[in-house]
Structure formats: C-alpha cells, structure tokens
Amino acid sequence: MHVLRFRRVLVLVTVVPMYSSQPDKDHSQMKDSMLILERALRKCLRVGDVAAKYSDSQYIVLLSKCSCDTASDVMKRIIDRFNHTCDTHSNMTIQFDIEPVSCYSSFVTDKKMEKINMVKKVIRFIVLIIGLSLVAYSGYHLFKIYSDYNTSDKTYEKLQDEYAVGRFKEDDDSTKGSEAQLPWYDDIDIDFAGLRSENPDVVGWIYFENEDISYPVMYSGDNSYYLRKTFKREHATAGSIFLEGSNKTDFSDCHTIIYGHNMKNLSMFGKLKYYNRDENYYDSHQYFQILVDGKKV
C-alpha cells in the first residue's frame, strides 16, 4: 500500500508592541508596521508560498515543500528585513508560531499502483510510436521531394543534351583547327522537330545570358496543365516553363507572359530571385532570348 504525502508549514506572524505606549501612537505604528511586514513577505517568500492578512496585527503564511527548520530560517530573514526597514524608535516587533501541515492523498493499493504504472508505460510507448512515425513520415516526404527534384533535373538535362545543339565558329588561320564559341545569343540551336515528336505542345525555348536557365516553353491553352507536369507530361513539383493560356503561341502579342516555378534548388526560374537580391547580378545577366522555329524573339 502506498501513501502520497506533501509537506507544508503554516506560520502565524504577529506584530506586537514591545511595551505599552500611547494608544493612538501604538495604533499608527501598528498600521505602518503591517505595511512594512507585507513588503518583507513579498520580498522573502518563494513562488508557491501563500500569505494573507489574518487580522489587523497578523499575517498567516503557508510555506510549501518546507520543513520547520527551513520555515524558521525564512522567518528570520523576514524579521531581519522588517527590523532593518522599521524606524529605530518603533515600538513594534514580530512574533511567529510554526505549525507543520501534512497533506495525505488517498491510499493507493499495490494493484491500483501497478495499473497506474502500466498505463504510464502504455502512454510512453504510444508517444514513442507517434514520434517515430512523425520522423518516418518526414523522412519519406523529404526523400520524395529530393527524388522529385532529381527527376525533373534529369528530364530537362536530357532534353538539353539531345535537342539544344551548341554552335561554334571557325577561327582564323592562326588558330586553324580550333573552335571558338559564338556570342551567347548565337551559341545554341534547338531541334524543334525532335522536341515536337515527343511532345507537340512545345512552342519555343527560353535561354538566358550567362546562366543555365535553358528550357522548352510549353503551351496547353490553360494555366494549370503544365503547372505540375514536366515536358514528358509526368507529375513533378517543378512542372514546366509554360506560356499564358490567352497568349499567341508565335509570341506576337504586345505582352507575353511566361510562367515558371521559383524552385528552392534554383532550377526553372529559381535564379530570377538574384535580380532582386544581388545588385551585381544584372550586369552579367541583362538579356534572355526565346527561340521559335529558327527565329529569335
């Protein structure tokens, strides 16, 4: 059988005159002394202790988790603070009585305690399972996001390798036999016939100066189809670069809108944020071009 016991100490603190004096003067000093005692209690008591005014000359104090010896030490500190604050000509002093208070819970049988412990173990086990499940769930989704990003990157890297052909110019006789790269706006040709054999929704190719933003531009007639679909029409968070549904596919409108995700791994249009974040970025990335069936827009 188990008993749950909590120790507390009850203290009755009384302000008393050291010797008889004039009644009116004693009454005034008593009021002042009670205010000083209140301030001393506020300063010396701990969080969880309770004090209340019991009468015109008394406070009752409940000290939690405290022995009688400890209560005596607490009261000595209160008296020292009281005497330090009081006028040296004051006629008042403090007396206190300590009474231990024990609080007992209801008796708990061994069988009931065993049941309580079993419930605690079950709760701890459930919390552990929930924690492990959350870790596994988060890990799965992180892996899924990484796999999704990787699939998109590989899809568009393969398109660039197969259908975006680099061009070179021949050097003069002094460097005969070598090749020099053309200016960025002339250094790429797109095999649109090959692209459209895989997906006829391709309407162009966007290509940025000094940057690896180089993607096919898709068109479906709405603004949702390629939002989460790749060129291969497979689901992917990165989706595709695609043309506004109300724009013409030959890019002849006065204003043409092209959509692309601001990806955290900097793919698609993820690097466009640098125009705002890096004041030097614009200097080397001032231009981009859109290729449409051999033309540049």
CA distances from 271 to 115, 154, 230, 259, 265 (A): 60, 18, 19, 14, 9
Task: Supply the pLDDT for residue 103.
Answer: 58
Task: Supply the pLDDT for residue 272.
Answer: 92
Count of CB atoms situated within 10 Å of the CB of 77: 13
Task: Supply the pLDDT for residue 175.
Answer: 46
Task: Supply the pLDDT for residue 84.
Answer: 85
Round to the nearest angstrom and report the end-to-end CA distance of the chain.
89
Phi-psi region of 172 (alpha: psi -120 to 50; beta: other; left: phi over 0): beta
User: Cα-flanking dihedrals φ and ψ of residue 118, to 5°?
Assistant: -65, -40
d(CA 140, CA 135): 9
Exposure string for 213-239, b = 16+ CB within 10 A, e = fewer = bbbbbbbbeeeebbeebbbbeeebbbb
pTM of the model: 0.53
- Residue 98, C-beta contacts closer than 8 angstroms, at least 6 positions apart: 9, 10, 11, 68, 71, 72, 75
List per-residue pLDDT tens for the chain, 297 residues long.
Answer: 444 445 788 999 999 888 766 666 778 888 888 999 999 999 888 888 899 999 989 999 999 888 888 888 888 999 988 888 876 657 788 899 998 876 555 555 667 778 888 888 999 999 999 999 999 999 998 888 888 888 888 999 999 889 887 754 444 454 444 455 667 777 788 899 999 999 999 999 999 988 888 999 999 999 999 999 999 999 988 999 999 999 999 999 999 999 999 998 889 999 999 999 998 999 888 889 999 987 887
